[in-house]
Amino acid sequence: MLNRDRVPPLWLFAQAALVAAAWCFTDMETGPGAGVSTQPNGDRFKIEGRAIVPGIKTQDWVSAARVLVEGEEYVGFLRTDGSFAVNDVPSGSYVVEIITPNYRFEPVRVDITTKGKMRARLVNYIKPSEVIRQPYPLQIRASGPQSYFMKRETWGWTDFLMNPMVMMMVLPLLIIVLLPKVVNTNDPEMRKEIEQSMNMLSPNPELPDVSELVTKFFSGSKGSSKAGGSSKGTRPAVKRR
Amino acid sequence: MAKLILLCLNFMILRSAVEAVFEDQVGKFDCFDTHAQSSKKVLLATESNVFAALNTRTGDLFWRHVDKTGPEGNIDALLQHGQGDFVVTVELTELLVALLKAGNSLNCLCLLDAVLVVGNGRLLRSWEINVGGLNWEIVLDSGSETVDYQAVYSDGNGEVYAMGVVPHSHIAIVVYSVEDGEIIKQVSVEAPWLSNIQTSCTVIGPGMLTCMDPASVSLFMLDLHLESEMTQIPLQTLGLEVTPGFHPVLVSTQPNPAQQPLSEFLLQLGPEQYLLLQLSNGQIVTLRDFKPAMLASFATAGEKTVAAVMSPKNKTACSINLFNAETGRRLLDTTLIYNLDPNGGKPEKLYVQAFLKKDDSVGYRVMVQTEDHALAFLQQPGRVVWTREEALSDVVTMEMVDLPLTGTQAELEGEFGKKADGLMSMVMKRLSSQLILLQAWIAHLWKLFYDARKPRSQVKNEVTIENLSRDEFNLQKMMVMVTAAGKLFGIDSKTGSILWKHYLDNVPSNAAFKLMVQRTTAHFPHPPQCTLLIKDKDTGLATLHVFNPIFGKKSHITPPALPQPILQSLLLPLMDQDYAKVLLLVDDQYKDLSTELIWEVVIPTEVQKIVSIKGKRPNEHVHSQGRVMGDRSVLYKYLNPNLLAVVTESTDLHQERSFIGILLIDGVTGRIIHEAVQRKARGPVHVVHSENWVVYEYWSTKSRRNEFSVIELYEGMELYNSTVFSSLDRPHAPQVLQQSYIFPSSISTMEATLTEKGITSRHLLIGLPSGGILSLPKMFLDPRRPEIVTEQSREENLIPYAPELIIRTEWFINYNQTVSRVRGIYTAPSGLESTCLVVAYGLDIYQTRVYPSKQFDVLKDDYDYMLISSVLFALFFATMISKRLAEVKLLNRAWR
């Protein structure tokens, strides 16, 4: 019984909505389709258009949206189908914006002549006279959700490893650890060879520091070779525990 | 007639972080509840041109639409047109509220429209209530004359009657089709005595437009369907008497928009007298006389229509009863007690939502609107479901006051404050205060431990006046707000809860308010003290209200009566012996103090007029005296504390000849330090004056865009007298640098951030019409921004000049929580140098913290404690292990 009661209103509404939608539609076509919007009150005109948020139902966003013409000088609201009309606007040049907290719309400049001829163009504040035509009645498509938040810096191992400071520390360490393994420094012949090649690199006898440094380096590397060798020792140590 | 505004506000106070507004912080700071969509809605249309739908269960907003300010956005009438078996009430009063009940819960998705008349009767709008979107909007055609459309009526046959009046001439009636808004017919009826339909007319019974004419004390009736002439019925013929000087008011009801209104109606004859009347066969019959009755209104549930009458019970409470509308009989068990708020105003309007109970009797809830713009929603027998402080949507001025120290902290302070009286007693005092601290600490620990055992939901940290105390970094403050309705509020800045409220009756409707903090909480044991100067704009007569900003209580100090109009008021930096700053009031008699003209700058009024004068804020600190240039030399700032920025606008508003001017005048000597003129520009001009700079924003008529301009003043490479600044001894004129930028939006208001020591860099906080609060670094408004980048400018970190300033949505400090119609932004320093507290107020109130130079003195809240501690532990263990390994290795080698 309840159902029977409820059906007619719903159906009625659907009809009403259809009629309303049709009305909006016809109005839009008769109005500025030709570029002229005539209104009863002589020098006052109507800015019309439609706003679209791709992928989102209009019901979900129109209640928070407004159409602002030149700041808050003229205000319009969106219909449930996303179309809008701002009434009572005198001739002039205006920036029309759709304002919603969650979606971003690009503003459009609308010029209205004293006779009511309309045109829409891109907003360019630096060259206000430049004309790049936009469709009129306005078709404004949201360019995406508003991004209010900055990305937080996340911490990951890769970030840590790719850090230049870390790379600068890790690479020499690797060389220190691995080089003695590749080259057997305990072999005296090898050592001589290296020393010779180093001396070749710095033939100036007044700078013996380099060879000294090299020897120092290798004597130091002995210590580190111990550390490197310690990796072998780890296993028994662990086993012992 | 009591003037009423119902302002709708989305009252939210939230804290969040700027500069690093990260999405995961949103939930952290918000105190937002989402409620399941309920079918019960209250529709509000307000005098500040807002139309909104409220949830009757919680009082929260479903949606809200803000029209433009001024008469063109005014909502003149509201009509509900719906399909389905639910009740619709139409009330054409100054506050238009329709309480509607959507039948049973199965009908939740009922489809409803509301029709609004907007903008002095120019526009007719139809709203889809569930979505909050527009169905259609049309411009009402008034023909040659200007008809003021004030009322809408529909009897459900698909026609809407828009009724307008040409004052003292005739009534114009236009009939529209509800479905598509097309005009069906237009009529006009002579009514030379009528000036306003809304206040004097209503529709009764079978389309009878009934009007009250207080001059001839008679009723006029017109059948809308026949459109004949109006018939006059003097009230005396009905045996009724009107209280002298009272404008009688008619109230009718239309239970169902698909049917005509009832033939019963209410007539208010005096401030405390209502009559229930019935129109039958053209005759008016009295059904019941309610006396005393403060308020009365109709409500319908199912087929039954009732009249709710509020009558005084005692001094602190009123009782509401229901009466059968058709007979005037009182219904049993329908009494509801409404307790009057001692800090609130008198009830002013009554709205009733009636429903049928299971046993077919009538139950109801009421919404009471009081003089102080508060709404309370009650149910039987007197439980308050929710209240809304709508006065907060019209905050005029505010101050932030530091919270007092706790008792123990104050005790410690007291120790240092008193004079020393011997070594021994000092030691004892110190020991006792330490003991108190220890005691407090143990109590705190105990509380923590005790709370930790309880489930999280039960732990309530409610802030009340009793447990208010300053936090470690002075981030929590008391916001003292003064509203246009004359109601004062004390709000805790951390939670946004109202801690105290105080309604000042007898505040004139056109009052100007000035709130001054005479004594802060720093002077224990003297209580903090605020003074509110309330001045009637027309007469200039003023009253003072002195109160304690923490508790809201009126001070025992009786302010002097001010019989003379006040010309000027000023809070002097001098303090009296009780540490209260001295308030200077200048009236037109100059009796006790005489004033003397020191200097005069003549600004020709026929060419330009002064719009605003801005000095620097007295609590502003500048940390660095100059700027280090690229070549390591120092450019010293011109820091004149007496400098005033005077903004003028041209009287000629033609777009070719209009200009705005800015004069920088030394307040002590009257010397004009600098003068700048912006040609082909007009206001409104927004100015911020701080440190050594002035930033102003104006509209460029030539290029049709908003522009920012910044002026900075420098002493030069050498400081004349670095120890003290004297306006009388500054022989060199400062160097002036200026630069302008394009701003891609108009602005509503502008303010600069403020910090404790002035070390932190500055940001400009800009309220935009879109509802966003933009935090723009002052770095972008720097007249030294170079056009060509050089080594030196790079050294100085100057951003290369670009003509257009960019609005980045990441700079919005309130993300998607928009603040509609921002009226002002208040900034206050906190105890942390990096942090500035910001309150933006308009229709909404938004409180947050901003960190212009990021949080350099606090660990970030995403600080990775886990990482740091795990690295430390890892290193510790690594050393332990390697030590052990080295030992093993040494041992092995020794064996070798």
Closest residue, chain A, to B20 (C-alpha) = A150
The three-point CA angle B407-B412-B417 to 5° equals 115
pLDDT at A220 over 80: no
The pLDDT score that the predictor gives to residue B712 is 94
| B249-265 pLDDT, tens digit each | 888 877 665 667 788 88
Chain B residues inside the 8 Å CB shell of A125: 703, 705, 742, 744, 804
pLDDT at B167 over 70: yes
Instruction: Determine whether the interchain pair A73/B68 forms a contact, defined as Cβ–Cβ distance below 8 Å.
Output: yes
What's the mean per-residue pLDDT of chain B?
Answer: 79
pLDDT at A233 over 80: no
Residues with Cβ within 8 Å of residue B726, at least 6 apart in sequence: none
B213 neighbors B191 (Cβ within 8 angstroms) = no
Element (H, E) at B830: none
Using CB atoms, pick whichever of B126, B744, B889 lies closest to residue A226: B889
Instruction: Determine whether the interchain pair B111/A75 forms a contact, defined as Cβ–Cβ distance below 8 Å.
Output: no
pLDDT at A45 over 90: no
The pLDDT score that the predictor gives to residue B398 is 93
Q: What is the mean pLDDT of residues B353-363?
A: 82
How many other C-beta atoms are found inside a 10 Å radius of the C-beta of residue A212?
A: 10
Take residue B288 and report the two structure tokens written for it. 């019941």
Using CB atoms, pick whichever of B65, B72, B817 lies closest to residue A77: B65
Per DSSP, which regions of B579-704 are E strands?
Answer: 581-587, 608-614, 626-628, 634-637, 643-650, 659-666, 672-679, 681-690, 693-700
Using CB atoms, pick whichever of A23, A70, A155 lies closest to residue B867: A155
The pLDDT score that the predictor gives to residue A208 is 53
Instruction: Determine whether the interchain pair B816/A148 forms a contact, defined as Cβ–Cβ distance below 8 Å.
Output: yes
For helices B407-417 and B423-453, give the axis angle rounded to 10 degrees.
170
| B657-708 pLDDT, tens digit each | 899 999 999 999 999 999 999 999 988 899 999 999 999 999 999 888 999 9
Q: What is the mean pLDDT of residues A164-172?
A: 83
CA distance B302 to chain A (A): 15
Q: What b/e string do you get for B182-221 counting C-beta neighbours within 10 Å, with b at 16 or more? A: eeeeeebbebebbeebbbbbbbbbebbbbbbbeeeebbbb
Instruction: Determine whether the interchain pair B817/A104 forms a contact, defined as Cβ–Cβ distance below 8 Å.
Output: no
DSSP for residue A36: B
DSSP for residue B798: P
Chain B residues inside the 8 Å CB shell of A23: 136, 180-181
Which range, A144-148, B129-133, B266-270, B663-667, has the best average confidence (pLDDT)? B663-667
d(CA A110, CA A94): 5
CA distance B131 to chain A (A): 6
d(CA B659, CA B609): 11
CA distance B865 to chain A (A): 12
The pLDDT score that the predictor gives to residue A210 is 57
Rg (CA), chain A: 39
Instruction: Determine whether the interchain pair A73/B106 forms a contact, defined as Cβ–Cβ distance below 8 Å.
Output: no
Chain A residues inside the 8 Å CB shell of B123: 87-88
How many other C-beta atoms are found inside a 10 Å radius of the C-beta of residue B736?
A: 16
d(CA B370, CA B367): 10
The pLDDT score that the predictor gives to residue B829 is 93
The separation between the first and the last C-alpha atoms of chain A, rounded to the nearest angstrom, is 82
Chain A residues inside the 8 Å CB shell of B23: 148-149
Chain A residues inside the 8 Å CB shell of B748: 72
| B611-622 pLDDT, tens digit each | 999 999 988 888
| B534-587 pLDDT, tens digit each | 998 888 888 999 999 988 888 888 888 888 888 888 888 888 888 899 988 888
Instruction: Determine whether the interchain pair B134/A77 forms a contact, defined as Cβ–Cβ distance below 8 Å.
Output: yes
Lowest mean pLDDT among B68-72, B359-363, B595-599, B712-716: B68-72
CB within 8 Å of chain B, chain A residues 161-220: none
Q: What is the mean pLDDT of residues A207-230?
A: 52
Chain A residues inside the 8 Å CB shell of B890: none
Take residue B824 and report the two structure tokens written for it. 């002002």
Share of chain A above pLDDT 70, in %: 62
Helix (H, G, I), strand (E, B) or coil at A177: helix
Q: What is the mean pLDDT of residues A80-106?
A: 89
CA distance A159 to chain B (A): 14
What torsion do the CA atoms of B607, B612, B618, B621 make, to the nearest 10 degrees? Answer: -80
CA distance A101 to chain B (A): 5
Take residue B532 and report the two structure tokens written for it. 């509110």
Using CB atoms, pick whichever of A73, A77, A101 lies closest to residue B771: A101
The pLDDT score that the predictor gives to residue B688 is 95
Instruction: Determine whether the interchain pair B22/A66 forms a contact, defined as Cβ–Cβ distance below 8 Å.
Output: no
Instruction: Determine whether the interchain pair A75/B123 forms a contact, defined as Cβ–Cβ distance below 8 Å.
Output: no
Q: Tell how far CA B92 is from the center of its chain.
A: 26
Using CB atoms, pick whichever of B133, B136, B809 lies closest to residue A23: B136
The pLDDT score that the predictor gives to residue B278 is 86
The pLDDT score that the predictor gives to residue B376 is 86
* B827: β partners: B838
Chain A residues inside the 8 Å CB shell of B106: 2, 6
Q: Tell how far CA B562 is from the center of its chain.
A: 29
Cα dist from B211 to A73, B221, B223, B248, B249, whole Å: 36, 6, 12, 10, 9
Residue B250 or B870, more confident: B870
Chain A residues inside the 8 Å CB shell of B84: 6, 9
Lowest mean pLDDT among B148-152, B194-198, B414-418, B599-603: B414-418
Q: What is the mean pLDDT of residues B642-648?
A: 93
Q: DSSP readout, A147-172?
A: ---PPPPP--HHHHHH-HHHHHHHHH
The pLDDT score that the predictor gives to residue B839 is 92
What torsion do the CA atoms of B458, B463, B468, B470 make, to the nearest 10 degrees? Answer: 80
d(CA B14, CA A32): 45
Residue B35 or A136, more confident: A136
d(CA A198, CA B796): 47
The pLDDT score that the predictor gives to residue B699 is 92
Chain A residues inside the 8 Å CB shell of B132: 62-64
Q: Most A CBs within 10 Å: which of B88, B115, B136, as the mutation test of the A interface?
A: B136
Residues with Cβ within 8 Å of residue B664, at least 6 apart in sequence: B643, B644, B645, B646, B672, B673, B674, B675, B694, B711, B713
Instruction: Determine whether the interchain pair B83/A9 forms a contact, defined as Cβ–Cβ distance below 8 Å.
Output: yes
Contacts A–B by Cβ distance under 8 A: 168
- Find the largest Cα–Cα distance for chain B: 132
Chain A residues inside the 8 Å CB shell of B66: 66, 75
Lowest mean pLDDT among A47-56, B409-418, B504-513, B849-858: B409-418
Among the listed residues B15, B185, B163, the one whose alpha carbon sits nearest the alpha carbon of residue B77: B163
Q: Does A62 touch chain B (CB under 8 A)?
A: yes
Lowest mean pLDDT among B98-107, B131-140, B629-638: B98-107
CA distance A139 to chain B (A): 18
d(CA B275, CA B270): 10
Share of chain B above pLDDT 70, in %: 83
Lowest mean pLDDT among A31-35, B421-425, B490-494, B572-576: A31-35
d(CA B643, CA B639): 9
d(CA B701, CA B681): 5
The pLDDT score that the predictor gives to residue B222 is 84
Q: What is the mean pLDDT of residues B17-31?
A: 31
Which range, A145-149, A210-214, B148-152, B871-875, has the best average confidence (pLDDT)? B871-875
Chain B residues inside the 8 Å CB shell of A22: 180
Helix (H, G, I), strand (E, B) or coil at B506: coil
Q: Most B CBs within 10 Å: which of A77, A95, A104, A224, as the mutation test of the B interface?
A: A77
The pLDDT score that the predictor gives to residue B870 is 93
Handedness of CA B18, B24, B26, B27 (dihedral sign): negative
Helix (H, G, I), strand (E, B) or coil at B146: coil
d(CA B408, CA B467): 13
The pLDDT score that the predictor gives to residue B306 is 86
d(CA B771, CA A66): 11
Instruction: Determine whether the interchain pair A150/B888 forms a contact, defined as Cβ–Cβ distance below 8 Å.
Output: no
The upper half-sphere exposure of residue B544, i.e. CA atoms within 13 Å in the direction of its Cβ, equals: 24
Q: What is the mean pLDDT of residues B840-852?
A: 89
pLDDT at B346 over 90: no
CA distance A39 to chain B (A): 9
If pLDDT is split at 50, 70 and 90, which confidence band does B420 have? low
DSSP for residue A33: G
Instruction: Determine whether the interchain pair A6/B106 forms a contact, defined as Cβ–Cβ distance below 8 Å.
Output: yes
pLDDT at B9 over 50: no
pLDDT at A42 over 80: no
Residue B33 or B763, more confident: B763
Lowest mean pLDDT among A99-103, B53-57, B491-495: B53-57
CA distance B653 to chain A (A): 16
Chain B residues inside the 8 Å CB shell of A97: 770
Q: What is the mean pLDDT of residues A217-238?
A: 44
d(CA B499, CA B550): 9
Q: Does A97 touch chain B (CB under 8 A)?
A: yes
Residue B734 burial (10 A CB sphere; 0-12, 13-18, 19+): buried
Instruction: Determine whether the interchain pair A75/B73 forms a contact, defined as Cβ–Cβ distance below 8 Å.
Output: yes
Lowest mean pLDDT among B7-16, B651-660, B829-838, B840-849: B7-16
* B534: β partners: B513, B543
The pLDDT score that the predictor gives to residue B162 is 75
B147 neighbors B166 (Cβ within 8 angstroms) = yes
Q: Does A28 touch chain B (CB under 8 A)?
A: no
If pLDDT is split at 50, 70 and 90, which confidence band does B802 have? very high
Instruction: Determine whether the interchain pair B139/A12 forms a contact, defined as Cβ–Cβ distance below 8 Å.
Output: no
Share of chain B above pLDDT 90, in %: 22
